[in-house]
Amino acid sequence: MSQERTTMRKIRDVLRLYHENRRSHREIAESLGLGRTTVQDYLRRAAETGIVWPKDAGLDDVLLEAKLFRAGYRDGKRRPEPDFRDVHRELKQKGVTKHLLWQEYRGRHPDGYEYSWFCEHYRAFKKTIDPVLHQDYKAGEMLLVDWAGLKMPVADPKTGEVKDASIFVAVLGASNLTYAVAKADEKLENFIAAHVEAFEYMGGVTELVIIDNLKTGVSKANYYDPDINPTYADLAGHYGVVVLPTRVRAPRDKAKVETAVLIVERQILAPLRHRTFFSVAELNVAIAELLETLNERPFQKLLGNRKSLFAETDQKALRPLPPNRYEFAHWKEAVVHPDCHVELFTHRYSVPFKYQGKTVNLRYNQNTIEVLCKSERIASHRRSDIKAGFTTVREHLPKEHQDYRDWPPQRLLYRASLIGPSTEAVVQSLIQKAEHPVKSYRRCLGLFRLGKDYGQPRLEAACKRALRLNVSTYKSIKSILQSGLDRQPLPEQQEILAFGHHENIRGPDYFN
């Protein structure tokens, strides 16, 4: 049934329900699925044009429409209708409404249709085009991304080993401009790089990025308060976009990108299925060629193509790219140790001393490491691969510790002597064995902290036992205190030497 016949049938139903069944405007609107203003408009026109119901029920649709809308007919010709393809295109612009477009239409055609007719026929037009194309996305508002289900084989030219490359797909909401790129895998680093390349392909940044709860982007799926991967959140902050995961089991939220994935698979990947590629870069050259063809292919129901629609809508509304390209970085939480350092892969980096004991975030890549506290960068260092090493900025340390390289051991030994001779002997051992001055300071601080936690007498007893057993390390002394062995009688020297004399076994006199 045509749209005109459907509309006239509803007009007849409105007149019948009102005049014959005595129904209210609200009841008629709910029964027929019309707006109350539409019902009122039909009844007003019938009253103004002198239509008597049910007397005029026998009129055919053409005559009934002519009487109701006779102001729109001249010499028996139908009044001009709007081009709903243009209406659909204009509605993608920010701030443009149907009412504004209707006003412009009536300005060009004073004898044109009323607003209710305009809206009803536009809704009917949207049903005739691709459901994905007729979704209401504003220009520059949304980029939808996903991995394609279909992968492309890439052969190693040396070994002949074949590995599957993943295809990243991104599509703009308003214009449907599509981007696709192959990556060796779907790990976080490639996921981030694909976003950066997509933004650069579009030449700007949208307000939102919609993802399908991918594990690489969303740590914990929740529509209202999702946990976004820290690196992905860092990317979003760099480009000033908001990441919104789709609702779980809500296919309509991601219909556009799923359609884009299907189109990429059919129009780009399928035509390449018989070709052999020896690198991901070679595959991407082939994808780029077919991608241009895809974006320049004319729409079936709308004017233009993805590129022309992009130029008219999204391109004007996208925000500019930031001056610097985003650099991939990992994130990790760490606690600032008492010696004003944080540890990353056994290397230690200094942090301003006022952050001692606080939990901070480490943002690091191959070249640098940044330390952030509540999103504020508090330290930055060049990345070091030296195991168990230290990278220290002198100003990060407390004033009394800034010259730690010149500390006399007597300073630590004097503090230890106030606790007892065994503690002093242990501190002497720690100083001698340390590979780095900061390391000895760190271990001695830990030892003194045990004196605060367990009491100095117990610390002295634990150090005495550790010396007797030749295990004078921070961890061993802490274990003695935790297990309460410091309260037990000391073992006799004979027990210690029960296995015979050995040059590596030293007695307590060794430290005197």
**Residue-level pLDDT at 226:** 47
Q: Please, what sign has the CA dihedral across residues 423, 429, 435, 437?
A: positive
Question: How does residue 2 score in pLDDT terms, banded at 50, 70 and 90?
Answer: very low
Contacts of 243 (CB under 8 A, 6+ apart): 208, 209, 211, 217, 228, 232, 233, 236
* Exposure string for 286-310, b = 16+ CB within 10 A, e = fewer: bbeebbeebbeeebeebebbbbbbb
Question: How does residue 375 score in pLDDT terms, banded at 50, 70 and 90?
Answer: confident
Q: How far apart are CA 260 and CA 492, in angstroms?
A: 80
- Higher model confidence: residue 443 or residue 376? 376
Coil, strand, or helix at residue 207?
A: coil
Please name every residue paired with 181 in a beta bridge, in sequence order, or none if there are none: 168
Contact 219, 229 (CB under 8 A): yes
The greatest distance separating any two alpha carbons of the chain, rounded to the nearest whole angstrom, comes to: 126
Chain mean pLDDT for the chain: 81
Contacts of 350 (CB under 8 A, 6+ apart): 340, 341, 379, 381, 390, 391, 392, 393, 396, 397
Which has the minimum average pLDDT: 134-138, 280-284, 354-358, 389-393? 134-138
The full length of the chain comes to 512
Q: Which two tokens stand for residue 402?
A: 């800034």
Question: How does residue 404 score in pLDDT terms, banded at 50, 70 and 90?
Answer: low
What confidence tens digit (pLDDT) does each residue in 63-120 have?
777 777 654 444 445 677 788 778 877 777 766 788 888 888 888 888 777 888 788 7
Residue 274 is given by DSSP the state T
Residue 288 reports pLDDT greater than 90: yes
Residue 205 reports pLDDT greater than 80: yes
Q: In order of start, what are the domains of the chain with their CATH numbers?
A: 3-126 (no CATH), 142-317 (3.30.420.10), 330-401 (no CATH), 407-511 (no CATH)
Which range of 56-60, 286-290, 365-369, 407-411 scores highest in mean pLDDT? It is 286-290
Q: Phi-psi region for residue 147, left (φ > 0), alpha (ψ -120 to 50) or beta?
A: beta
Q: How far apart are CA 240 and CA 192, in angstroms?
A: 15
What confidence tens digit (pLDDT) does each residue in 250-282 have?
555 567 888 889 999 989 998 998 899 999 999
**Residue-level pLDDT at 132:** 46
Question: How does residue 433 score in pLDDT terms, banded at 50, 70 and 90?
Answer: confident
Q: Which two tokens stand for residue 492?
A: 């006799």
Residue 160 reports pLDDT greater than 80: yes
pTM: 0.53
**Residue-level pLDDT at 117:** 77
Residue 221 reports pLDDT greater than 60: no
Please name every residue paired with 373 in a beta bridge, in sequence order, or none if there are none: 376
175: burial class by Cβ within 10 Å (0-12, 13-18, 19+)?
A: buried
- Higher model confidence: residue 129 or residue 495? 129
- Higher model confidence: residue 298 or residue 506? 298
Residue 60 reports pLDDT greater than 90: no
In degrees and rounded to multiples of 5, residue 248 shows phi and psi of: -65, 135
Average pLDDT over residues 398-424: 74
What confidence tens digit (pLDDT) does each residue in 302-317 have?
778 999 989 988 999 9
Question: How does residue 166 score in pLDDT terms, banded at 50, 70 and 90?
Answer: very high
Residue 165 reports pLDDT greater than 90: yes
CB atoms within 10 A of CB 114: 18
Which has the minimum average pLDDT: 40-54, 144-158, 213-227, 339-353? 213-227
Q: How far apart are CA 229 and CA 270, in angstroms?
A: 33
Residue 320 is given by DSSP the state P
Contact 101, 90 (CB under 8 A): yes
Question: How does residue 30 score in pLDDT terms, banded at 50, 70 and 90?
Answer: confident
Contacts of 331 (CB under 8 A, 6+ apart): 230, 231, 234, 361, 362, 363
